[in-house]
Amino acid sequence: MAEEAGASKKPKKYTGILLHPTSLPGPYGIGELGASAYRFVDFLERSGLNTWQVLPLGHTGFGDSPYQPFSAFAGQPLIISLDHLKELHLLYDEDFRNMPAWNAEQINYGELIEFKTGLLKLAYSRFHDESLSDGIHDDPEMKQAYDNFCETSVWLKDYALFMAGKDYHQGMPWYMWEDNLKKPTKKQKETWAKKLDTEMGYYKFIQFLFYYEWTTLKKYANDKGISIVGDIPIFMAWDSVDVWANQSLFQLDSKGYPTVVAGVPPDYFSATGQLWGNPLYNWKKHTETGYEWWLNRIRYQLTLCDFLRIDHFRGFDKYWAIPYGEETAINGKWVEAPGVNFFTQLEATLGYHLPIIAEDLGEIDDSVIELRDKFGLPGMKVLQFAFENPEENDFLPHNFVRNCVCYTGTHDNDTTLGWYKHAYEASKDKLRRYFSTDGYDICWIMIRACFGSVANMAIVPMQDVLCLDSWARMNTPGVGEGNWAWRYKEDALTRELEARLYETCKMFGR
C-alpha cells in the first residue's frame, strides 16, 4: 500500500468490511465457507467495496479465540461447509436429525463443537472407506487436490500427530505427555504416527477441506476484484504444535515449560499490565536458521490472503519478557528483537514489497515507528481512539498519512454505537464539534469519516455497517467468556444497505 517514490499514479484505495467467517449466517450454528460466504462477497462487490478483512483463520483451542490457535498453519475446521460435504456424498440429510436449535445471532461453542466435530468425523469415516463414497473418490480433480495438499503441506504431519496426541491424552497439553511424545526423537514420532494413523488421517482430511474451500472462495473474491486481508498473532499458544515441534525456537526449559512469557507492561489502562502467558521466541535460534519457521509461516499465510495484518507488531522491535510463574506483568523487562534483520530477510526472500499491516496500537515508541516506516508498512488508525483523547492526537483524520489503515473500531473495540453511548461526555462533545454534527446516525458519521480520510485502506466492522449496539461486540479484552460469538442474520444484507455503501464509496473516490 505504500506509495512508490516518483510514482505518477495514485495508489489504489482499498475499502472494505471487517467480518470473521464465523459471523456469517447459516443453518448450522456458525458461519461457514459455503453459500453465505459467496453471498457476502457478492454483497461487497455490489456495494462498491474491494476488501474483506478477517481475523486469524487458525484452528482455535480453549476459549475459542482466533488469537490462540493450535497451529500457525492449520485452518479452522468449524467453518468447513457442511453443505459441501453433502455435495461430496460424505454427509446426508438424515445425519442432521438431532441438530440443536441454534441462536441465529450468537454462537454456542460448547454445543457447536460437539455437534460439528461429530459430523466431520462421520464424513471422514465415509471418506476413509472408499466403498461407501460416490463423491470425492469419484472426482479426479478433488482426489488430486487432496493428494497434492498432503504431499506439499510440510507442516501437516506434525499438526496431525499433535492433534491426534491431544485426543489420545483426552485434551491434555503436550508438556504433560509422556517423554517419548513430549519431546520425541524422529523414530519415536514414527512409532506414534503408526499407532495414531487413523486419527491423524482425520486431521489431514479436515485441513484439506478447509484449505480447498477457503482458497476456492478467495479465488472467487479475487476474480471480482476483492482483496482479502488476513491476520496472525505474533506469538503462539504454549499448547500449540509449533511450540511442541520446534521447542528450540522458544525460550523453554528442559521440561518444556517457558522461562519467560509474553505480555505488556503496566500502562494507563492497567496498573498491573497484561500477562498473556505465551512462550517467547528464542530469536538467536531463529536468526541461526535464517528465520525459516517465520518465513514458512508468512509465505503460507500469503497463500490464504492478499494482505496480512500482524498483531502486536511492536514485538518485532522489543518484547516484554515476564518471568514464568509471575501473577502479573509488572516484573517484566524490555528485550530487543531482531526487527530490521528479520524484515530485511523476509523482504529479500519474498522478492517484493511486504504486503503487511503493522498493528501499532497501544504504547508505541520511536523505534517501533522507525521499524514500521523503514519497510513502508502501514500502521493502524482507530477513529474511536481519536475522541477518547481530549488532546490533539494521531488518530484524528486531519493528521493521517496516506500509508495507513483507518478503522472505525477493531474486533477489540466496542461497536461504534455502543462506544458512543458509553463514552464520556467530553468525548462525545469533541466528536460532535469535530464533525459538526448532533451525533445522530453516529455509525455512519464514523463510516463517512473513515471512507473520507486519506488512508489508502479504510475498513469498518460489519457491526458498524449494521448500526448494532454493544451486544454485537466481537471481543472484550480481559473477559474470558462470551467472545467471538456474534453473527449477522441473512436478511441484513439489503439492497438499501448496498446502495448506501456504494454512494459513500463513490462520494470519497473509493
Angstrom distance (rounded) from CA 277 to CA 428 = 36
- 158 given a catalytic annotation: no
Q: How crowded is residue 454: how many other Cβ atoms within 10 Å of its Cβ?
A: 15
User: Catalytic: which of 359, 360, 414, 498?
Assistant: 359
* Distance separating alpha carbons of residues 65 and 274, to the nearest angstrom: 16
Cell of 445: 458519521
Separation CA 24–CA 21 (nearest Å): 5
Nine cell digits for residue 80? 468447513
Cα separation, 235 vs 314, whole angstroms: 12
Separation between Cα atoms, residue 87 and residue 97, nearest integer Å:
18
Rg (CA), the chain: 23
Distances (CA, A) of 457 to 49, 174, 347, 366: 11, 41, 21, 23
Residue 458: name the closest of 51, 40, 55, 41 by CA.
51
Instruction: Establish whether 311 is a catalytic residue.
Output: yes
Which residue in this structure is represented by grid cell 442432521?
96
Q: CA geometry: angle at 354 spanning 67 and 71, to 5°?
A: 25
Identify which of 419, 19, 429 has the alpha carbon closest to the alpha carbon of residue 217: 19
Whether 359 is a known active-site residue: answer yes
In the numeric block, the cell 448532533 is attached to: 438
Selecting among 158, 231, 239, 311, the annotated active-site residue is 311
> Are the C-beta atoms of 308 and 230 separated by less than 8 Å?
yes
- Selected catalytic residue, list 139, 326, 412, 490: 412
Give the list of residues 6+ apart from residue 62 with CB closer than 8 angstroms, or none: 68
**Spatial separation of the C-alpha atoms in residues 33 and 22, rounded to whole Å:** 9
Q: Which residues are catalytic?
A: 311, 359, 412
